[in-house]
Amino acid sequence: MAYEVEAPKYVRLAQTMQRRIEDGTYPPGTKVPSENQLVQAFGMSRPTVVRALELLKRDGWLESRQGFGTIVRGRPAATEQRDRRGREALERDESRTPGRLVVVDQVQVPARIGSVLGLPKRAEVLMRRFLVEEDGEAVELVSSYFPAGLVEGTELGSSEPLGVGLREHLEGRKRVRFDHVTERVSARMPDGGEAELLGLPDGVPVLSVLVVACDASGQALQVSDVLLPADGQELEDTYRLG
């Protein structure tokens, strides 16, 4: 069983500061509030504030400049790359992607997937699980779930890799249109099968990017759970598909 892991205080503070950087409260090129000001503003201890600042510096949101203090850099390129994982899960050509299709099967829908798809408990869905590899090493595990009504008349149930992306295949076969994607990012412990495929030792968490692809009405068409090793954090992003 997979358990959700709540991010520690310093990570939640870092997330709040990220949002303030993105909404312009802390513009790029400006100094961030002092440690004392952050302690008072957020009601957190100095060690928590210091760890949050260190995390933001490590991830490229902030930088220390001698004689100026801590400066806002803005949204780092690494974050932009992470936020594209939803698009990649929809548009990946399995036949051209280094890796392998490890599972194609009807499964009982996981609770967190069923709630997004609006399915009752114990409903069955089709799962396609693809392991992405780089230089022979597993770097990402993508489990995509499809309600039964969306599978009929498609090749989603085939054990062979698809030669086009999931989005293109479904839009061509089912006359549906993907309008936008929501990504919900959280840390959790992988189950035994997930950890084995990713080559993770016991006790190592993963970053789960839950990718919810919807039509214009907001109806979820498919859900993909993208797993990769990462620090615990929880974010949500929504963007339109061109």
Determine the pLDDT at residue 235. 42
Q: 173-199 burial string, b = 16+ CB within 10 Å, else e?
A: ebebebeebbbbbbbbbbeeebbebbe
Determine the pLDDT at residue 83. 53
Beta strands in the chain (DSSP E): 4-5, 62-65, 69-72, 99-108, 124-134, 137-147, 180-188, 206-214, 220-228, 235-240
Q: 32 and 50 in contact (C-beta within 8 Å)?
A: no
Residuewise pLDDT in 10s, the chain (242 residues): 343 445 578 878 988 898 898 888 999 999 999 999 999 999 999 999 998 898 888 878 899 887 778 999 887 765 555 556 677 888 999 999 999 999 999 999 999 899 999 999 889 999 999 999 988 899 999 999 999 999 999 999 999 999 999 999 999 999 899 988 888 878 888 999 999 999 998 888 888 888 999 888 888 999 999 998 754 344 444 445 55
122: three-class secondary structure by DSSP: coil
Q: How far, in Å, CA of 109 to CA of 112, rounded?
A: 8
Q: 44 and 50 in contact (C-beta within 8 Å)?
A: no
The residue to which tokens 């303030």 are assigned:
20
Determine the pLDDT at residue 159. 95
Q: How far, in Å, CA of 229 to CA of 144, rounded?
A: 18
Determine the pLDDT at residue 230. 55
Determine the pLDDT at residue 187. 81
CA 38 to chain centre: 28
